[in-house]
Amino acid sequence: MGEKIRYGIDLGTTNSAIAYFDGKETHILKNRHQMDVTPSVVRISKGGEIKVGLDAYQRLHDDPHNTVSEFKRWIGQKSNKMFKSSKLTMNAEELSSEILKSLFSDVKINTGQDVSTAVITVPAAFGHLQCEATARASSMAGLDDAHLLQEPIAAGIAYGVKPDSKDKNWLVYDLGGGTFDIAVISTREGKLKVLEHKGNNMLGGKDFDRLIVEKIILPKLKEIYEITGPSSNKYSRLVQRLKKTAEEVKKDLSYNEKTVASIFNVGEDEVGELINEEIYVERENFEELIKPYILKTVELCKEAVKDSRLSKDDFESIILVGGSTYIPLVRELLKKEFNIPLNFSLDPITVVARGASVYAATLPIIENESREEVFNGLNIDLDYPNIESGVECFISGYIDELKNNQNQYEVSISDKTGYWSSGWIPLKGGYFEADIKLLENKINNFNIYMRDEVGKQILITPKQFSISTIGCSVGEVPIPYSIGVECVKNDGTSEVDIIFKRSTPLPAKKIVTYRTAKKLSRNTLGVNEDNYIGIKILEGDYPYPEDNTVIAALKIPSEEIKRPIPKGADIELSIEINTSRKMSVEAFIPVINQHFRGSVYVPEPEQPPKLKDIRDGLDEIYEIIDDLELLLENIEDIVDDIENYYKIFKELMHSTEEIYLEIYEIEKQNKVIDIDDLKRINQEIKRIRGELRVFKQEVEKYRPLDMSSGIYQELDNTKELVEAYGDNLQKEQLYLVEDRIEQQIERHDDRGRKKSEEKLERLKWEILNEQEWFWETQFNLLKEESAYVNKDEARRLIEEGECAIKVEDYGLLKGIILDLIKLLPESEVEIQSKKAIKAGIKKSKLESM
C-alpha cells in the first residue's frame, strides 16, 4: 500500500481535466496537446479506431455522424450513439469511460504512473442513477476504486486550502457547458459544509450556442440563401457545423462588444449554392437572448440563499466556476442582485479538478490483495476526517469479524515521520478509538498495525491513511433529493414515505419497519406481481410516486421464501448510502426469519422521452390547471392569502405556456428535435406537474363542499346518460349513489367518495356499452388514427368495421374496435409501466429507527 490517491477528475460536459495535489499546491496534468483540459468528445473511424479529445473535436462539426459530444447530459439514460461508418454503438457510460482512459493515458505519459483510484466530480443536481452510471464508467475505464464528489464542494475545497479561508460563507456559482449548480458553502470553525444547493442538469453554455445558431446566424443566412425547414438533411448538417462558429462567437463576445461570425465550409443551400458569409454579431443582441436563462440561475441562487437562512450580507464572495462564467452578463447580473464581490482567483475551468485532487490526496487506496491475503487478513472500517482544521482529531475503527471474538487484539497508529505514536490500543468487541496528533499545514501520513495477544502481527487493510491540515476540513456531503419508499394505501393508490429528507448528510443509514400489502405463497407460478413482494426506492421531493424517479428496487420472490408470508407481516427495511451515493438495501422479515439482499437492482436507464409522451404530460398539466383555476375562483372570499396563491399559480402557468410554445414550434416546423431538448422539456414537465400537484394539495383543504373533487360534474354527466338511456334499475342505482355522495362529502369521507366515483364510472360505461351511436363514434375516431403498428391489418379491420355498421352488427363492431386499439403503438410510459416492479408494502405504525 503506501500510495495515496493523488488524482482528482472533473469529468465535464464540454471539457475534462485531471489534477494532483503534492501536499502544498495543486497541479493540472496537461494532455498530449499540452492543454490543461481535454474536450469531452469521442470519434470512431470506419475501421473502429477511437479518437478522444482534441483529435475528435476537430471532426465534431464536419462529421457529426461519427463524432459525439455532450453525452454527460444523457448519462444514466438508455440512449446510444450510433457511429455511422463503423456501425458501432456506445452509450454515455462507455463514452465517458473513453474520456477517462484518455486522461489516464496522459498521466502515464507525464508521470509514468497508472491511475487505479481517483475522485471524480459530479454536478450537485445529479440524481442517483446518474451517479451510478458515472461510477460504472469509472469501472469500465479500469479504476479499482472511484470516489464521487459534488462539483461545488470540490470548488470550495480548492478555495478552502488558501490562507484566511476559515469562518467564511461563499456562494459557489457553477455554470459549465451543460449543467448549472449553485451551493451555499460555509467554512465556520474551519469545517467546509454545504448549507444549501440547487441546480439544473440541462442548462449551460451549449444552450447559448444553440440560441446563437437559431436566433442570430440562421435568420441572416435565410435572407441570402435557400435554406428550407428543419426536416431537411442539409439543414441538420448545417446546424451542426454552425455550432462551432457559435461557440467561437460566444467566446469572442466575452471580451469584445461585437465580433464576426465567419461562416465557411459549412455546405450548400437547397439549390446548390455554397454558403460562405460573414455576419456581424453584437454583444447586446447575444445578451438579450441569454438573459432569461441567466435570470433563471440568479433565481436559483436567491432560493438557495433564502433556504440556507443566511442574508446577502453574510457572504464574503461569489466563487465563479465553469467556462460560461466568463460571460460579462453573468457577472453583471450577479453583482446587481447580490452586491457581493466575485471571486475567480482560481481558474474557473480547472478549479473543480484542483479541489478534487486535494480531497483525493487524503483518501487511502484500497488495493486488490492476493487471494491468500484477503482470506487471512482483516478489514478495518476506519472513520476519520480526511481534512482537519485543528492539530488533533478523533479516529475510530471497527472490525466486524472480531465483534464476538474473545481473544485480545491491539492496534497501534504512528505518524510516518516519527512525530507521534498512539502506543498499543486494545480492541473491545472489534472496536477501537484514539485521538490523533497532527502537524499543521501538511498532509499527515499514518501507518496502522495490529497484533494478537502473543504479539503476532495480523494482516489488515487499509494499512495506512492520511489526514490533511491544509485548509478547511470537509463536513458531511448532503443528498440533493429526498429518498423514500413507495407504499400502497388502503384505497389502492400509492404514496411516498420519505426515509432520508433532502440535504440529509452522508453517509446515512436507517432501518424502517413496514407491513406487507398482500400475502405471498411459496413458488407462486407466473411472472406478474402475484409471485413477489416489491419494494421500490424513489428519489425526489414530490408526494406522488410517479413524479419521482425509481432508483433501486428489491424483489422478495415466492421461490426464495422458506414459508408463506401473511398479509400485514412486518418488513424491516435497512437502507445505507455512502458518501459516493452508493446505496445498499436489505429487507428482513421476522415472521419467516429471513434476510433479502441479493435481489436488489438498479433499474434499467430511463428511455429518452418521445414527443407523444411529452404532449400527454402537457395535457395532464392542463387538466390540473383547469381544476386549480376553478378551485381558486371558488375560494377567493375564504382564503386570506389568496394573492400569494394566485402568484404561485401564475408562475406555474407561465412555465407551462413556455413549454407549450416550444412544443408548438417544434411541431409547426416539423423540427428534428435532439435528445437534449427532449430531456430538458420532459424534465421541466415533470417539475411543473410535481409542483402543481403539491400546490393543489395545499389549496384542496379550502375546497367548498359543493365542488368536491369534481364529483358533482361526474354525477351530472352520469345523470344525463341515465335519464336518456337508463332502465329503472339503473335509475335506482344512481339515486342510491347520489344519496351516499352527499353524506360522504359532509363527513369528508375521501375514501368513500372515491368508491362512489368508481360506481358512477361503472354505471356510465354500462349504459354506453349498449348504445350503438357510442360504438360508431369510437370507430370513426379510430378511422382517423394514422399511427397503427400494422397499417395493412388496420386498413382491413376498418373496411370490416364499415361493413358491420351497414348491416348494424354492433357485436362484430365492438370486436373490431378492440382489435384496432391493440394495433395502436404503446407510449413509452405504458411500456415502462408494464416492466416496472409493483410496490407491495404499506406504512407501519412503528416509527423509523
In whole angstroms, what separates CA 327 from the centre of its chain? 27
- Give a yes or no: residue 95 inside a domain: no
Q: What's the pLDDT score for residue 374? A: 42
pTM assigned to the model: 0.77
How many other C-beta atoms lie within 10 A of the C-beta of residue 169?
20
Q: How confident is the model at residue 849 (pLDDT cuts 50, 70, 90)?
A: very low
| CA–CA gap between residue 73 and residue 711 (Å, rounded) | 43
- Give a yes or no: residue 12 inside a domain: no
Number of domains making up the chain: 4
Cell digits for 353?
479538478
| CA–CA gap between residue 539 and residue 479 (Å, rounded) | 10
pLDDT at 821 over 70: yes
- With a pLDDT cut of 70, the percent of the chain lying above it is 89
- Three-state secondary-structure class, residue 67: strand
| CA–CA gap between residue 88 and residue 68 (Å, rounded) | 13
Q: What's the pLDDT score for residue 53? A: 92
- Give a yes or no: residue 411 inside a domain: yes
In this structure, the answer to whether residues 273 and 380 fall within a common structural domain is: no
Region 814-834: mean pLDDT is 69
| CA–CA gap between residue 246 and residue 229 (Å, rounded) | 20
- The secondary structure of residue 213, as a DSSP letter, is I
- Three-state secondary-structure class, residue 807: coil
- With a pLDDT cut of 90, the percent of the chain lying above it is 33
Cell digits for 443?
498532509
- Give a yes or no: residue 601 inside a domain: yes
In whole angstroms, what separates CA 448 from the centre of its chain? 39
Q: What's the pLDDT score for residue 329? A: 96
User: Which residue has better confidence, 652 or 270?
Assistant: 652
In this structure, the answer to whether residues 597 and 655 fall within a common structural domain is: no
Beta-ladder partners of 514 = 571, 843
Please name which of 413, 415, 411 lies closest in space to residue 398, comparing C-alpha atoms.
Answer: 411
- Give a yes or no: residue 297 inside a domain: no
CB 239 within 8 A of CB 215: no
In this structure, the answer to whether residues 263 and 386 fall within a common structural domain is: no
| CA–CA gap between residue 483 and residue 502 (Å, rounded) | 7
User: Which residue has better confidence, 279 or 606?
Assistant: 279
Helix (H) or strand (E) holding 224: helix 218-224
Q: What's the pLDDT score for residue 371? A: 37
CATH number at residue 580: 2.60.34.10
Q: How confident is the model at residue 321 (pLDDT cuts 50, 70, 90)?
A: very high
Strands lying side by side in the sheet with 494-500:
494-500, 483-488, 532-539, 549-557, 600-601
In this structure, the answer to whether residues 601 and 622 fall within a common structural domain is: no
Pair type for strands 473-474 and 191-200: parallel
Beta-ladder partners of 496 = 486
Beta strand segments in 463-540, E: 464-468, 473-474, 477-478, 483-488, 494-500, 505-506, 508-516, 532-539
Helix (H) or strand (E) holding 6: none
Region 492-511: mean pLDDT is 89
Q: What's the pLDDT score for residue 770? A: 83
Please name which of 811, 651, 640, 793 lies closest in space to residue 303, comparing C-alpha atoms.
Answer: 651
Q: How confident is the model at residue 845 (pLDDT cuts 50, 70, 90)?
A: very low
- pLDDT tens figures, 182-238: 999 998 877 788 888 888 888 889 889 989 998 999 999 988 888 876 666 677 788
- Three-state secondary-structure class, residue 388: coil
Backbone conformation region of residue 70, classed left if phi is above 0, alpha if psi is from -120 to 50, else beta: left
Cell digits for 706?
359543493
| CA–CA gap between residue 294 and residue 632 (Å, rounded) | 32
Which of 104-113, 327-336, 485-494, 619-628 shows the lowest mean pLDDT across its residues?
485-494
Q: What's the pLDDT score for residue 373? A: 41
Q: What's the pLDDT score for residue 827? A: 56
Q: What's the pLDDT score for residue 284? A: 94
CATH number at residue 437: 2.60.40.1930
pLDDT at 848 over 70: no
- Give a yes or no: residue 572 inside a domain: yes
Mean pLDDT of the chain: 84
What lies within 8 Å, CB to CB, of 444 at 6+ separation is 415, 436, 438, 466, 467, 468, 469
CATH number at residue 279: 3.90.640.10
First to last CA, the chain: 38
In this structure, the answer to whether residues 494 and 617 fall within a common structural domain is: no
In this structure, the answer to whether residues 378 and 468 fall within a common structural domain is: yes
Residues in the chain: 849
Q: What's the pLDDT score for residue 309? A: 92
Beta strand segments in 568-662, E: 570-577, 583-589, 594-596, 600-601
Residue 209: which domain range? 205-286
- Give a yes or no: residue 800 inside a domain: no
Q: Exposed, middle or buried by CB within 10 Å (0-12, 13-18, 19+), for 513? A: middle
In whole angstroms, what separates CA 595 from the centre of its chain? 30
CB 26 within 8 A of CB 357: yes
Q: What's the pLDDT score for residue 341? A: 94
Q: What's the pLDDT score for residue 199? A: 86
- Give a yes or no: residue 378 inside a domain: yes
- Three-state secondary-structure class, residue 618: helix
Q: What's the pLDDT score for residue 369? A: 45
Q: What's the pLDDT score for residue 230? A: 62
Cell digits for 247?
461557440
Largest CA distance in the chain: 101
- pLDDT tens figures, 84-125: 999 999 999 999 999 999 999 999 998 888 888 899 999 988
Cell digits for 45?
473511424
Which of 22-26, 312-316, 469-473: highest mean pLDDT? 312-316
How many other C-beta atoms lie within 10 A of the C-beta of residue 362?
25
Which of 380-394, 492-506, 779-793 shows the lowest mean pLDDT across its residues?
779-793
How many other C-beta atoms lie within 10 A of the C-beta of residue 720?
10
Point out the domain boundary residue: 286, 303, 335. 286
| CA–CA gap between residue 17 and residue 30 (Å, rounded) | 8
Q: Exposed, middle or buried by CB within 10 Å (0-12, 13-18, 19+), for 583? A: buried
- pLDDT tens figures, 123-169: 988 888 899 899 999 999 998 878 999 998 899 888 887 767 778 89
In this structure, the answer to whether residues 583 and 636 fall within a common structural domain is: no
Sign of CA dihedral 448, 452, 456, 460: negative
| CA–CA gap between residue 570 and residue 589 (Å, rounded) | 6
In this structure, the answer to whether residues 395 and 493 fall within a common structural domain is: no
CB 451 within 8 A of CB 424: yes
| CA–CA gap between residue 812 and residue 293 (Å, rounded) | 56
Q: How confident is the model at residue 674 (pLDDT cuts 50, 70, 90)?
A: low
pLDDT at 1 over 60: no
In this structure, the answer to whether residues 620 and 742 fall within a common structural domain is: yes
Please, what is the Cα angle at 544 between 646 and 574, to 5 degrees?
140
Which of 99-103, 361-365, 661-665, 712-716: highest mean pLDDT? 99-103
In this structure, the answer to whether residues 639 and 594 fall within a common structural domain is: no
| CA–CA gap between residue 474 and residue 849 (Å, rounded) | 27
Point out the domain boundary residue: 551, 583, 606. 606
Q: How confident is the model at residue 379 (pLDDT cuts 50, 70, 90)?
A: confident
Sign of CA dihedral 226, 232, 238, 242: positive
| CA–CA gap between residue 466 and residue 442 (Å, rounded) | 10
Point out the domain boundary residue: 715, 750, 785. 750
Region 604-630: mean pLDDT is 79
Please name which of 733, 194, 221 lies closest in space to residue 504, comparing C-alpha atoms.
Answer: 194
Please name which of 618, 537, 547 lies closest in space to residue 583, comparing C-alpha atoms.
Answer: 537
In this structure, the answer to whether residues 443 and 525 fall within a common structural domain is: no
Q: Exposed, middle or buried by CB within 10 Å (0-12, 13-18, 19+), for 101? A: middle
pLDDT at 440 over 60: yes
Q: How confident is the model at residue 467 (pLDDT cuts 50, 70, 90)?
A: confident
User: Which residue has better confidence, 599 or 364?
Assistant: 364
In this structure, the answer to whether residues 494 and 466 fall within a common structural domain is: no
